[in-house]
Amino acid sequence: MATLSLSSSSPLCKPKFSSTTLVSGIDFIPFSPRPSLSSSTISPATVYLSVKQNRHRNSLQVKSVASPTETVSEFDEMVSGTKRKYYMLGGKGGVGKTSCAASLAVRFANNGHPTLVVSTDPAHSLSDSFAQDLTGGMLVPVEGPDSPLFALEINPEKAREEFRSASQMNGGTTEVKDFMDGMGLGMLVEQLGELKLGELLDTPPPGLDEAIAISKVIQFLESPEYNMFTRIVFDTAPTGHTLRLLSLPDFLDASIGKILKLRQKITSATSAIKSVFGKEDNQPDAAEKLERLRERMVKVRELFRDTESTEFVIVTIPTVMAVSESSRLSASLKKESVPVKRLVVNQILPPSSSDCKFCSIKRKDQMRALDMIREDSELSGLTLMEAPLVDMEIRGVPALRFLGDIIWK
Ligand SMILES: Nc1ncnc2c1ncn2[C@@H]1O[C@H](COP(=O)(O)OP(=O)(O)OP(=O)(O)O)[C@@H](O)[C@H]1O
């Protein structure tokens, strides 16, 4: 039986399979691997853990069982190369997307990659996860990891406001409509109204915030000062939003195209009239802004489908509901040609070493859900990466490093 060790004094150390090292406050004891999960679907060096308090207060032991045939490391593949790569983590609400995304970002940073972790979930929890204030909609350095790690929580309200102001006419739609009505051109404005842009922005459908947020990130990343980041990890909003997001760039691209055409017609009509009356047309560069937004939407769409640089990682928990939703998510991503290779199954309970009835029933349930994954036509082809349910809240860089070292192998 091999032992996986993690050392707090050496965050860059790779797992060793021979000795036990004490790390921080909890003791992890090994238990046998489930024979029903084949080595082809298990991530290398899958860790089976049970958690129990250690009498050494500041130490943590992690022991694992490594199959002798498992040699290829998933994380080695993820970490190799300095070309920029994007990892998008998504799944059902509350399964641990933020914890997994933050732990992956820490893992990349501790393996030499200047990394950016971005939350596009309107209900941000990166700050809570890192236990640092990362709010403000700008890049904020995360303290702790070995290489630079920055976080960005996109403020959806601010991003949407920018989009709204770029989409509006000079002086507001009503004013323009009155003016255009007077000129017998009200029909054009009505056409603009039919696009229901105002409605779209006032009650945004799931996915719009995300699309705008991601296009905002692309805008950031285009600036030379962000060239340094070689890994970008996205903590995305729950599944429903993600699915809408996939079709949104097309929808917005088409809408913006129409808006731009109408704007052009209206602007040329108004400026011709204004010039007759000697008024200056001081129209700001709104059309230009809108065009740039449209271009970024196209880039978002391309980014999602780029198998070279992008990977969507589904995060789930071993319950029938979460597995069913993950299966649907995987099918939708496949349909949209979004690359998916890995599935993180989070919060797996250890086999009960006590006579806790609740624990053993719960674990049996989880094992059934894992079987479901194995038999699911959508999910069985993905590489399974398992994470135990630990008996402490995953908060702060040391805890995230600990979790990351277990999941991302
Ligand atoms: N493996 C784990 N062991 C113990 N606690 C965990 C584990 N993974 C996540 N948690 C805890 O579960 C809670 C929810 O996790 P997290 O915020 O990462 O989920 P989420 O999927 O991002 O949620 P949301 O959909 O609300 O954004 C947090 O308190 C987190 O610390």
CB 378 within 8 A of CB 340: no
The three-point CA angle 211-213-214 to 5° equals 65
346 lines ligand 1 (CB under 6 A): yes
CB 106 within 8 A of CB 251: no
Compute the distance from residue 95 Cα to the ligand 1 centre, in Å: 6
Between 239-276 and 286-304, two packed helices, what is the crossing angle to 10 degrees?
160
99 lines ligand 1 (CB under 6 A): yes
Tens-of-pLDDT digits for all 409 residues of the chain? 333 333 333 333 333 322 222 222 222 323 233 333 333 332 322 222 332 223 232 332 333 333 444 455 889 999 999 999 999 999 988 999 999 999 999 999 999 999 999 987 777 789 999 999 998 888 899 999 999 999 998 876 666 666 666 555 444 445 545 555 554 555 555 555 555 555 555 555 555 666 666 667 777 777 787 789 999 999 987 666 666 666 655 666 666 666 666 666 666 666 655 555 554 444 445 566 667 766 777 777 787 788 889 999 999 999 999 999 999 999 988 888 889 999 999 999 988 777 888 999 999 999 999 999 999 999 999 999 999 999 889 999 999 999 999 999 9
41 lines ligand 1 (CB under 6 A): no
Write the CA distances from 312 to 77, 245, 300, 376, integer angstroms. Answer: 15, 13, 13, 18
- Which residue among 47, 49, 60, 99 has the greatest number of ligand 1 atoms within 8 angstroms of its CB, and so is best to mutate? 99
Residue 68 DSSP one-character state: T
- Which pLDDT does position 36 carry in this prediction? 31
Residue 221 DSSP one-character state: H
Order of strands, edge to edge, in the sheet holding 85-91?
140-141, 149-153, 115-119, 231-235, 85-91, 310-316, 340-348, 383-388
List of residues 6+ apart from 253 with CB closer than 8 A:
294, 297, 298, 301
| ipTM of the complex in this document | 0.98
Compute the distance from residue 389 Cα to the ligand 1 centre, in Å: 10
Distance between CA 43 and CA 274 in Å, rounded?
Answer: 68
Q: Which run of H or of E encompasses 150?
A: strand 149-153
- R_g (Cα) of the chain, nearest Å: 25
CB 149 within 8 A of CB 142: yes
Distance between CA 343 and CA 381 in Å, rounded?
Answer: 10
216 lines ligand 1 (CB under 6 A): no
Phi/psi of residue 226, nearest 5 degrees: -100, 5
Kindly give the number of the ligand 1 atom that is closest to the alpha carbon of 395. Answer: 31
120 lines ligand 1 (CB under 6 A): no
Maximum Cα–Cα distance across the chain? 89
Known catalytic residues are: 121
127 lines ligand 1 (CB under 6 A): no
Please choose, from the candidates 91, 265, 113, the residue with its C-alpha nearest in 3D space to the C-alpha of residue 183: 265
Count Cβ atoms below 10 Å from residue 338 Cβ, excluding itself.
22
393 lines ligand 1 (CB under 6 A): yes
Compute the distance from residue 347 Cα to the ligand 1 centre, in Å: 9
98 lines ligand 1 (CB under 6 A): yes
Kindly give the number of the ligand 1 atom that is closest to the alpha carbon of 121. Answer: 27
Compute the distance from residue 104 Cα to the ligand 1 centre, in Å: 14
DSSP string over 75-98: HHHHH--SS-EEEEEEESTTSSHH
Please choose, from the candidates 301, 310, 325, 337, the residue with its C-alpha nearest in 3D space to the C-alpha of residue 376: 325
Kindly give the number of the ligand 1 atom that is closest to the alpha carbon of 128. Answer: 17
DSSP string over 373-403: HHH-TTTTTSEEEEEEPPSS---SHHHHHHH
Compute the distance from residue 319 Cα to the ligand 1 centre, in Å: 15
Beta strand 49-53 pairing with 26-30? antiparallel
CB 226 within 8 A of CB 219: no
Kindly give the number of the ligand 1 atom that is closest to the alpha carbon of 348. Answer: 1
